[in-house]
Structure 1
Amino acid sequence: MHEHPLQRFFRSLRERPVFAWERYRQRDVLVIDHPLCQAVFSRQGAQLLHFQPRGQKPWLWCAAKWPQVGAIRGGVPVCWPWYGRHPSENAWPSHGWARLIDWKLLDSRSDEDGVHLHWQLQLCDWQVDLHADLGERMELRLSTEHQDSLPCQLSQALHAYWRIGDVGEVALSGLEGAQGYDQLNRAVCQQEGELRVEGGCQRVFQHEGELQLKDHAWQRELCIDTGDSADTVVWHPGARPLLGVSWDEISEFVCVEAASGGTDSLCLAPGERAHLSLQARVGA
């Protein structure tokens, strides 16, 4: 079992401020040390890379190696303003521009419930805001405002990599009966019983409410809620290699994501907003 690469910031016994900027792997990272939790954000992409409530194991996985430039694999990348491949521009990056660009941190504060952050990105005729509330629970809220005079298309995702003990010992419940699309087999599917992902999985479900990520190796259950207006995407590469990620690391995560517009892009009128959220808590 690998240590989370960003736990290095919390090894010292000296007292840290709640918020402190550090330089790591040629990126600016915001290290958060609160009585209820520890976390790390990257300014690039406003990406939550590490989250760990006190006394618990990490909730999020992050690759040990990062490219010198480009997207960081792990945590919760903000895939925006398109999710997956761009529908018409093959040379444009997968999952959009947002995870490649530095965001502005407009607000960071702490209280007895945890920490609260507000990140913002202005890009062309778009404004996108990410609000994060972290403590004993985790909540991310993404809001997009279209400021152009013509309608536009949008797809987006909060692409969460959840840290687990072993992919062979996890199961997802709460999706029973959900309709979806299996992108590996290119076929409509309906989930029967618990979902196991060890052999590879890339499914998009129309699903509302919580699902439970049961991690038998770590004897932990995370309750994950992708909101009431999004698709729930479950992904794991199985035996397929991932660039820059070791085989051992691949067994230590599973992706359960909130996404919208992936199958039918959202059409936003001028001034219209689109919202996406992702919440998680420890099960009973």
Structure 2
Amino acid sequence: MSSSTTPHPDSVTLTEGNGGLPCIQVATPRCHAEVYLHGATVTAWTPTGAEPVLFTSAAARYQPDSAIRGGVPLCAPWFGPGTTGSRTPAHGFFRILPWELTDATDDDGTVTLTLTLDGHAVPADLGPADLTASYQVRFGDHLDMALTITAGETDLALENALHTYLRVGDATQISLEGLDGCRYADKAPGGRAVNAQSGDIRITRETDRIYAHDSTVTVVDPTLGRRIVVTKEGSASTIVWNPWTAKAVHLNDFGDDEWTNMICVESGNVQRHALTVAAGQSHTLRQCVALAAL
């Protein structure tokens, strides 16, 4: 693995993770964190003195052909089945390919990792990919992620999302602030195609919503006594997801009762907010996750 030759500070350790997949461990006075080169998937971030902020399923599969269930999988260059409804694999190939660690620094306990993907190396069965990607992840008092995708010789039709699984004490007790008044598409069974959010979001059933939203979302968690603040740039969509009871039992890489301890708040550009990146140009999707007291 060429990443093993990348110089890195003592706070960054390259090791063998679950399923034998290469994994990066970060340990500083500010936080502990973990990211797999498989899919460039951040699977843990725990600020010192706090409960873990990200949720990763105990049943997650760590296999070269599967996405890791939890943490922050990368959805690109399409989301779900894509705008045509027929793209495979679901959510694109970014989250199921090996990335390369190309830089690692530690600035007073804040570690920055840079991982890269060359789309020209994408297997033919996943489709043509005239693009390159760079993912910069900063672990410290905050978790800051910036995914930059650059088009090749032709314009790039692009959907993207940072599919962030947040850990909560009890999903039925949380509320989500910041989406009041936003229109959304409801993808859950029985949902209407277009809706407008009224007030804060409460999780009372399977929730799968794509909001037209470009600002901050705050998860208020009275059980763990904290607020999780998600800010973003370069994003016109916010996706909120929780599988609830019925769907959870049909996910073979997710525990039947784990839905109670997670909520996905995803920053992206999907469906009607899909992008066209001009040839040779780049788009950066950035998301910052921070803790605050109630």
Fold conserved (TM > 0.5)? yes
* Count of residue correspondences: 268
Pick one of 74, 97, 100 that aligns with 1:101: 97
**Aligned residues: CA RMSD:** 1.8
Residue number among 29, 42, 50 corresponding to 1:48 in the alignment: 42
Q: Is the 8 A contact 1:75 1:161 kept in 2?
A: yes
* CA contact 1:84–1:94 (8 Å) conserved in 2: yes
Match of 2:222 in 1: 216
Which ranges in structure 2 are unaligned for 5 or more consecutive residues?
1-8, 121-129
1:81 equivalent to 2:77? Answer yes
Letter in 1 for 2:252: L
Q: Please tell me whether residue 254 in structure 1 is matched to residue 263 in structure 2.
A: yes
**Contact 2:219/2:228 (CA < 8 Å) preserved in 1?**
yes
Match 2:14 to one of 21, 44, 48:
21
1:109 alignment partner AA: T
* TM norm structure 1: 0.89
Shift of 1:85: 0.9
Matching of residue 275 in structure 1 with residue 284 in structure 2: yes
Selected match of 1:171 from 162, 168, 175: 175
Distance 1:37 1:63 in 2: 20
Report the alpha carbon displacement of residue 229 of structure 1 after superposing the two structures with TM: 3.2
Moved more, 17-26 or 32-41: 17-26
Partner of 1:181: 185
Matched, 1:160 2:182: no
Q: Residue 54 of structure 2 is aligned with which of 43, 51, 60?
A: 60
Sort the Cα spacing of 1:90 and 1:210 in 2 relative to 1 into closer, same or farther, 3 A.
Answer: closer
Query: 2:150 corresponds to which residue?
Result: 145
Partners of 2:30 and 2:48 within 8 A in 1: yes
- After superposing the two structures, state which structure 1 stretch, 229-238 or 51-60, moved more: 229-238
Structure 1 CA distance for aligned equivalents of residues 288 and 194 of structure 2: 27
- Unpaired segments ≥5 residues, structure 1: 1-15
Q: For structure 1, which segment, 69-78 or 17-26, has the greater mean C-alpha deviation from structure 2 after superposition?
A: 17-26
1:86 touches 1:93 (CA, 8 Å); kept in 2? no
The residue matched to 2:149 in structure 1 has which SS?
strand
CA distance in 2, matches of 1:188, 1:164: 28
Give the aligned partner of residue 203 of structure 1. 209
- 1:57-114 CA-to-partner distances (Å, cap 9, x unmatched) read 0010001123344111100001111111144584721011111111111111111151
Select between 273-282 and 181-190 the one with higher mean Cα deviation: 181-190
Q: Tell me: CA distance 1:175–1:86, structure 2 relative to 1, closer, same or farther (3 Å).
A: closer
Question: Structure 1 residues 194 and 81, CA, compared in 2 at 3 Å: closer, same or farther?
Answer: same
Residue 128 of structure 1, aligned match among 123, 130, 133: 133
What is the identity, as a one-letter code, of the residue corresponding to 1:21?
Answer: L
- Contact residue 226 and residue 257 of structure 1 kept, 8 A: no
Task: State the identity as a percent.
Answer: 28
Q: Deviations over 1:188-217 (max 9, x none)?
A: 111111101241111111223222101111
Residue 183 of structure 1: how far off its partner (Å)? 1.9
